[in-house]
Every structure is written in structure tokens, then in C-alpha cells.
């Protein structure tokens, strides 16, 4: 009984619809505001950036939104993804807890990101768009959109945060293999990039800056739109395919999670696994403890303000109410590149504010330690981002060992770390350092929050 157990759904159980948590929110969200007028945005305001189908999803309050058949066709290549019972890890920890993980590293890009890249590319293609611009942090999102662009015949231009561009040359090769273009950001191809470089020629970049560059390029051409890999409602919606499958797989295991854990950068993989379960709870079903894990060096949920802010550094995006460290905050260059964002998904911020989600922050070295312990028991090397969820899971399992409580814990293993060997090399050589959240820089970034009447 010590072997890891795998719960597989057959393809016929691939979800037919995504789950929209807007249908079940206990209180409505604050409206999204136009950056100029500070009035609520309408569909027309977003039309230069996104196809109509995506805009409708962004604003929808329908509980179920159908997954188009051509999207399910691509999903079938790796979905339903497996859910594992981590028996060998449980044994190594000597815990009475039951640990489950949903594994999203089986996608062609190695993470959960294609779950939304595929539908976004599909909707753009349906509406005649030829080209999509985007940003990428660690490279997973750029890789996923590059893949989706190849499958749906779209040109993809990716602005990659410079620190990651230099740390992860194989991610760039991956994107280019699928025919995408990859540009280190800040770059001199946009006004936003040139403005940053003029002030700081050595800028290592940030997601906020890369978003400004990608948005600027998208609005200049009619045949071009923009795609975002996290944060927005429609992205979180697409990721719920993870949790919908996990619910069925937990039922196969004859179990239900007492606790669900995910790492949060912009919040999409976390929402993906959590929202279907949280929706059950909001409709009067079983209660579940929900833990969001973030890096201590970029502590958006634990140290940020819940306020209106821009999604980007150049202030081109609409204003959303979210937990934020300030749009000018540039996180230090730690290795979990996917978690280096100043803001958080408004839906997750809202639900955290209402008390449904408990945020928690960890330093990177303790996360890598946990990731190696997981790898040596389960045989999968997690992405540095996913190590944050692994760390919280191990802590909870050890707590159960102390208390003797046999909790059921589910976490999202949102990606593998096979492209992140430089990070593991540095960790194993003892070269990784923990970086503190810079209080002074943080206070400065927060003092620049826009005033909203
Ligand atoms: C992009 C990414 C993240 C962070 O984004 P979320 O929207 O918070 O999920 C985390 N882990 C992996 C593996 C990623 O690729």
C-alpha cells in the first residue's frame, strides 16, 4: 500500500463547461474602472485588446460556460490530467494526513497555462485576429501561447521579463520552436520600454513593464490583440477545468479535501483547483480550508493593500480592485519567476478580503528544500512556483503528525521544473539567497496608488 496511487478519468469525463464563480459570490465584486474617466468599463473599452467572446466571459455571471468542441479536442491530448495520492511522501513524512496532488505538468508546455492559452487562441482565430502580443515572466505563459498560436495559425509576439530571458534560454528556444517571437523586456521596441530604459538602463524588467509593452503593441494594429495568462476572470474561468476534474477524481478516491493549497502569482492555477470546491461551499455544500501561498519577497496577499490599481507599470490597463504592492514595485529576481507580480486576481482578492482564503508567504530556499523532498519521494521535480504549494502541504502534513489529525490535503502541482534546472543548480550549490520584501521600496510603490473617487 505504500505506492503512489494515480486516479485517471477517461476522456469521456473531460468537463463540457468551465465553472464561473461570479455566479456564486456572496457579495458582488467592485467594478473595473476606465483608467482615464474612472468610470466602470464596458465591453467597448476592452474591444481593442480582446475578442468579443473573451470580453463576454470576463463580464459573465452565468455559472457554466460551455467549452467549445475544438478546445476540448486539444485538451484531450493531455486532459483529464492525473490526480495522485502521494503515499510515498506521506510515508517519508510519517504523517496520518492523506496528501493528494493534481498534476498539470503533463501538458505540452509543462504547466497549467495551456488550459487558457488554447481557448484564447481559438476565440481570437474565430474572430479573424492574425496576431497576438503578450508578456511572460518565467516563460511558461509565452511557451503556452506559442504552442496555441501554432495550433490555431496565429502569429505570437512575447515580451519576456529580462531577468528570466537571461536565466532561462531554453524557454525562448521553446517559444521560437513553435514559431513565436520572443523579446527581452524592457525593450526599445515600445515607448513604455524606452521610458524605463532611459531611467534605468540595467532594469531587469517586471511583469508590469512587459504587460505595458505588449498592450502598446496590440493597440497599434487592427489585426492584433493582446492575451493575458493570469489575473483576469476569463483566465481563472478557463483554469477551473483543473478543479472540476479533481472533484471527480477525489470522488473516485472516496475522499473530499479538508484543505486545498495552491501557489499564487496572478492566481490562475490556484483559482483553477480551488473555485469549483469553493463554489460548492458557497452554495451551502461542504466547507474547505483554502490556503494561497506566495513568495515572501513579493507578498501581494499578505502585505499588499486591497485597493484600486493598474495591472501594469505604464498605466495602460483598466483599474481593478485587488491586493497590490503598487504597480511600480519591481520584485527582486528570485527564481519562481511566475510569482513575480505586483497584483492579484480581483476574484481572489475579493474572496480573501471576505475571509474565504488564507494567504501565507514563504522564502525561496525553504520552498526548494520542500520541492526536493517531494521529488525524492514522488519522482517529479516541481516548478519553483509549485514548490510554494509543496512547502505549505508538507508543513500541514507535519502539523497533522503532531496533532494526530488525519486530514485530507489536496494541492495543485501546477508544473514541472524540467526547464528550471538553473534554479536547482543554484540551490544545490548553496547559492540561492532569501530576499526580503523591501519595506521602503514597497511603501514608495504603494504611495503611488491611483486615487479613485
Ligand atoms: C505562471 C505560473 C504560475 C503563476 O501564475 P498563476 O496565475 O498564479 O497560476 C505558477 N506556477 C506555474 C508553473 C506557472 O507557469
Q: What is the CATH number of the domain that holds 297?
A: 3.40.50.1100
The more confident residue out of 169 and 244 is: 244
Q: Which three cell numbers stand for residue 257?
A: 479535501
Contact 90, 165 (CB under 8 A): no
What is the 385 CA–ligand 1 centroid distance (Å)?
A: 7
Going by pLDDT thresholds of 50, 70 and 90, the confidence category of residue 352 is: very high
Residue nearest to atom 2 of ligand 1 (CA): 338
- Sign of the torsion formed by the C-alpha atoms of 300, 306, 310 and 314: negative
**Within a domain: residue 115?**
no
Out of 265, 387, 418, mutate this one to test ligand 1's pocket (max ligand atoms within 8 Å of CB): namely 265
**Within a domain: residue 43?**
no
Residue nearest to atom 3 of ligand 1 (CA): 338
pLDDT at residue 346 is higher than 80: yes
pTM for the complete prediction? 0.97
Structural domains of the chain, count: 1
Nearest-atom number in ligand 1 for the CA of 339 is: 4
Average pLDDT over residues 396-419: 97
Average pLDDT over residues 231-249: 98
Beta bridge partners of residue 412, listed in sequence order:
102
**Within a domain: residue 318?**
yes
Note the Cα 155 to chain centre separation in Å: 23
Average pLDDT over residues 25-50: 95
pLDDT at residue 1 is higher than 60: no
**Within a domain: residue 326?**
yes
**pLDDT by residue (tens digit) across 71-89?**
999 999 999 999 999 999 9
Going by pLDDT thresholds of 50, 70 and 90, the confidence category of residue 255 is: very high
Residue nearest to atom 13 of ligand 1 (CA): 415
Q: Look-up: residue for cell 511600480? A: 328
pLDDT at residue 128 in the model: 98
Q: What's the whole-number average pLDDT of the chain?
A: 96
pLDDT at residue 331 is higher than 90: no
Pocket flag, ligand 1, residue 79 (CB < 6 Å): no
Closest to 392 measured CA to CA, from 382, 251, 192 = 382
Contact 145, 229 (CB under 8 A): yes
Pocket flag, ligand 1, residue 273 (CB < 6 Å): no
pLDDT at residue 332 in the model: 85
Contact 132, 255 (CB under 8 A): no
Q: Look-up: residue for cell 473555485? A: 275
pLDDT at residue 307 in the model: 98
Contact 383, 414 (CB under 8 A): yes
**How many Å apart are CA 132 and CA 124, to the nearest integer?**
8
Pocket flag, ligand 1, residue 125 (CB < 6 Å): no
Residue nearest to atom 15 of ligand 1 (CA): 140
**Within a domain: residue 74?**
yes
Comparing 166-170, 209-213, 245-249, which segment has the lowest mean pLDDT?
A: 166-170
pLDDT at residue 2 is higher than 70: no
Range of the domain at 285: 5-13+68-110+234-444
pLDDT at residue 168 in the model: 87
Q: Look-up: residue for cell 465591453? A: 43
Strands (E), 217-282: 224-226, 259-263
**Within a domain: residue 411?**
yes
Amino acid at each position: 500500500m505504500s505506492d503512489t496511487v494515480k486516479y485517471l478519468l477517461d476522456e469521456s469525463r473531460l468537463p463540457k463547461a468551465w465553472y464561473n464563480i461570479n455566479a456564486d459570490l456572496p457579495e458582488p465584486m467592485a467594478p473595473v474602472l476606465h483608467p482615464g474617466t474612472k468610470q466602470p468599463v464596458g465591453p467597448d473599452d476592452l474591444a481593442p485588446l480582446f475578442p468579443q467572446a473573451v470580453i463576454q466571459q470576463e463580464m459573465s455571471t452565468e455559472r457554466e460556460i460551455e467549452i467549445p468542441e475544438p478546445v476540448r479536442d486539444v485538451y484531450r491530448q493531455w486532459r483529464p490530467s492525473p490526480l495522485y495520492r502521494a503515499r510515498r511522501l506521506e510515508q517519508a513524512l510519517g504523517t496520518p494526513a492523506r496528501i493528494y496532488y493534481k498534476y498539470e505538468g503533463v501538458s505540452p508546455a509543462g504547466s497549467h497555462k495551456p488550459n487558457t492559452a488554447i481557448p484564447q487562441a481559438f476565440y481570437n482565430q474565430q474572430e479573424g485576429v492574425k496576431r497576438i502580443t503578450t508578456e511572460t515572466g518565467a516563460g511558461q505563459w509565452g511557451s503556452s501561447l506559442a504552442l496555441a498560436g501554432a495550433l490555431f495559425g496565429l502569429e505570437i509576439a512575447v515580451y519576456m521579463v529580462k531577468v528570466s530571458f537571461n536565466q532561462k534560454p531554453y524557454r525562448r528556444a521553446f517559444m521560437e520552436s513553435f514559431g513565436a517571437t520572443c523579446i527581452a523586456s524592457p525593450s526599445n521596441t515600445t515607448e513604455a520600454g524606452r521610458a524605463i530604459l532611459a531611467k534605468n538602463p540595467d532594469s531587469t524588467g517586471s511583469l508590469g513593464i512587459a504587460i505595458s509593452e505588449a498592450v502598446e503593441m496590440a493597440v497599434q494594429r487592427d489585426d492584433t490583440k493582446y492575451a493575458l495568462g493570469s489575473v483576469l476572470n476569463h483566465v481563472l474561468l478557463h483554469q477551473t477545468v483543473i478543479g472540476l476534474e479533481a472533484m471527480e477524481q477525489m470522488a473516485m478516491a472516496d475522499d473530499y479535501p479538508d484543505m486545498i493549497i495552491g501557489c499564487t502569482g496572478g492566481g490562475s492555477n490556484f483559482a483553477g483547483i480551488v473555485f469549483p470546491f469553493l463554489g460548492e461551499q458557497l452554495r451551502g455544500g461542504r466547507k474547505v480550508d483554502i490556503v494561497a501561498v506566495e513568495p515572501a519577497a513579493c507578498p501581494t496577499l499578505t502585505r499588499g493593500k486591497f485597493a484600486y490599481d493598474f495591472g501594469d507599470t505604464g498605466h495602460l490597463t483598466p483599474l481593478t480592485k485587488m491586493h497590490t504592492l503598487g504597480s511600480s514595485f519591481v520584485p527582486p529576481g528570485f527564481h519562481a519567476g511566475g510569482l513575480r507580480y505586483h497584483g492579484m486576481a480581483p476574484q481572489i482578492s475579493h474572496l480573501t478580503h471576505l475571509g474565504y482564503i488564507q494567504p501565507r508567504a514563504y522564502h525561496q530556499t525553504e520552498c526548494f528544500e520542500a520541492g526536493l523532498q517531494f521529488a525524492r519521494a514522488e519522482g517529479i521535480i516541481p516548478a519553483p512556483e509549485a514548490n510554494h504549494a509543496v512547502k505549505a502541504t508538507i508543513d500541514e502534513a507535519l502539523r497533522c503528525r503532531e496533532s494526530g489529525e488525519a486530514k485530507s490535503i489536496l494541492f495543485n502541482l501546477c508544473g514541472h521544473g524540467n526547464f528550471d534546472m538553473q534554479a536547482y543548480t543554484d540551490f544545490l550549490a548553496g547559492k540561492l539567497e532569501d530576499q526580503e520584501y523591501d519595506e521602503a521600496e514597497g511603501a514608495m510603490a504603494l504611495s503611488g496608488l491611483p486615487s479613485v473617487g
